[in-house]
Amino acid sequence: MGFSSLQSCPSCGVAIGDLSAHVRSTECPHCANWLYLSNNGWTSGGLFEHALDAPSMLRLGRSGVFMDRRFTVAGRLRVTYSSGFWDEWWLEFDDGVHHWLEEDDGRYRLHKKIEMDATDASFANAKVGSTLQINNQRWFVTEKINSEVAGTEGSLPVAAMPGEQVLCIDVIGGGKKLSIEATGRDVSVSQSLVVSGADLLWD
Ligand SMILES: [Zn+2]
C-alpha cells in the first residue's frame, strides 16, 4: 500500500527517477543492484549475474507494434527449471495495458492478466490431475513446474528476487485455461494467447 514510489536506491543511495506505478522490481541505473519491493519497502537483492545470453529478437528498450498497439520492451525475467529455461519479457504498451510475452524456444505466448484473488489457494499442494480451489471455483491442474528466477533486467511489475522459487501451474476450468505463477510474495494469474514472432513488427 503506497510503496510503489522509490525515492532513492537502498543500496547506493542515489536518487532514482520516477518509476511507473506498476513497477515492483528494477535495476538501479547507478549501481546496477537489483531492487525489489518487499514487506519492508524497496530492498536490494544485490548484484546479480544475469546470464541472459541466448539470442532473441527481443531486447531491452526495443520498440515496435503488436496488433496495432505500440510497445517497448521494458524488462525481462529469465526462469530456469529442470529441463531448461524460458524468458518472460515485460512489454509496456502506449495505451497503458501492459503484458508479459513468454518466449520459450522460439514460441511466444502473450499473457493477459486476470484479476483474481488466488492468495488463499494452496499451490504447493496442487497436483497434476487433481483440482485446485480458487475464488470458489474448481480448476483442473494440467501442469506444475518448480522453477527459479535466474536472471532479471530492466523494470518489472512483480517483486522478483534473483534465485527465488517460482511455482508455475496451468489450470483449466469453465472453458478457460489459466497460467498461475506464485512466489513467496506474489501470485499472478493470466490467460495466454499464442502469437507468432512475425506478429511483432519492430521499429
Ligand atoms: Zn543503486
Report domain extents, the chain: 114-149+163-193
What number of CA atoms fall less than 13 Å from residue 61's CA on the CB side?
1
Q: What is the distance in A from the centroid of ligand 1 to the CA of 97?
A: 29
Q: What is the distance in A from the centroid of ligand 1 to the CA of 197?
A: 35
pLDDT of residue 3: 45
CB atoms within 10 A of CB 163: 10
Helix/strand/coil for 45: coil
pLDDT exceeds cutoff 50 at 29: yes
Q: What is the distance in A from the centroid of ligand 1 to the CA of 187?
A: 27
Q: What is the distance in A from the centroid of ligand 1 to the CA of 42?
A: 11
Between CA 100 and CA 93 the distance in angstroms is 11
Q: What is the distance in A from the centroid of ligand 1 to the CA of 56?
A: 28
CA torsion angle for 107, 70, 67, 56 (degrees, to 10)?
-20
pLDDT of residue 1: 36
Q: What is the distance in A from the centroid of ligand 1 to the CA of 51?
A: 20
Which residue, among 136, 198, 199, 133, has the nearest Cα to 171 in the 3D structure? 133
pTM across the whole model: 0.84
Q: What is the distance in A from the centroid of ligand 1 to the CA of 109?
A: 33
Helix/strand/coil for 154: strand
CA torsion angle for 117, 155, 42, 4 (degrees, to 10)?
-60
Q: What is the distance in A from the centroid of ligand 1 to the CA of 62?
A: 24
> Which cell numbers in the block locate residue 77?
525475467
Q: What is the distance in A from the centroid of ligand 1 to the CA of 105?
A: 33
Q: What is the distance in A from the centroid of ligand 1 to the CA of 36?
A: 12
Handedness of CA 48, 192, 37, 70 (dihedral sign): positive
Q: What is the distance in A from the centroid of ligand 1 to the CA of 121?
A: 36
pLDDT of residue 52: 65
- Residues 106, 198 contacting (CB under 8 angstroms): no
pLDDT of residue 56: 79
Which segments of the chain does DSSP mark as H helices, in order?
none
Q: pLDDT per residue over 155-190, tens digit each?
A: 999 888 888 999 999 999 988 889 999 887 778 899
pLDDT of residue 51: 59
Q: What is the distance in A from the centroid of ligand 1 to the CA of 8?
A: 8
pLDDT exceeds cutoff 60 at 54: yes
- Residues 23, 170 contacting (CB under 8 angstroms): no
pLDDT exceeds cutoff 90 at 75: yes
Cβ neighbors of 22 (< 8 A, separation 6 or more) are 4, 98, 157
Lowest mean pLDDT among 35-39, 52-56, 74-78, 164-168: 52-56
CATH of domain 114-149+163-193: 2.30.30.30
Between CA 60 and CA 54 the distance in angstroms is 13
Q: pLDDT per residue over 90-99, tens digit each?
A: 999 999 999 9
pLDDT of residue 109: 93
